[in-house]
């Protein structure tokens, strides 16, 4: 996806090498869905991060926990979801775990 099309929320990595964008995309069912895109700062191309099982669910909690590791949540219900950690330099998931926000 061309990076010039990215005009939503932007999250820069601590060292500025990478950028993440939370954008909206019209689904085939006619509603807007969250999409999470990442790119190198000097690149013209972005990559979409998603879970096949939860591609239609809202994304939140986007945070860089290191210069190359992006953390985000995908909610599967009002109080339930999945935490993800992705190493952007290799575009590989390094952690995924379910959570229940209802119980602390």
Tokens at residue 104, please?
A: 């602390």
* pLDDT at residue 11 is higher than 70: yes
Per the CB < 8 A criterion, the answer to whether 82 and 51 are in contact is: yes
Residue ranges covered by each domain of the chain: 3-100
| Neighbouring residues of 24: CB distance < 8 A, sequence distance ≥ 6 | 8, 32, 33, 34, 35
Q: How many CA atoms lie within 13 A of 18 on its CB side?
A: 22
CA dihedral 63, 7, 32, 65 (to 10 degrees): -10
Q: For 41-68, write each residue's pLDDT tens digit.
A: 888 888 988 776 777 788 999 999 999 9
Query: What pTM was computed for the model?
Result: 0.81
């Amino acid at each position: 996806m061309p990076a010039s099309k990215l005009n939503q929320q932007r999250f820069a990595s601590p060292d500025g090498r990478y950028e993440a964008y939370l954008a909206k995309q019209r689904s085939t069912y006619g509603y807007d869905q969250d999409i999470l895109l990442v790119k190198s700062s000097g690149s013209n191309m972005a990559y979409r991060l998603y879970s096949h099982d939860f591609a239609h669910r809202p994304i939140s909690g986007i945070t860089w926990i290191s210069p190359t590791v992006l953390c985000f949540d995908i909610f599967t219900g009002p109080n339930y979801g999945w935490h993800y950690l992705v190493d952007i330099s290799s575009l590989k998931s390094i952690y995924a775990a379910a959570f229940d926000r209802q119980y602390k």
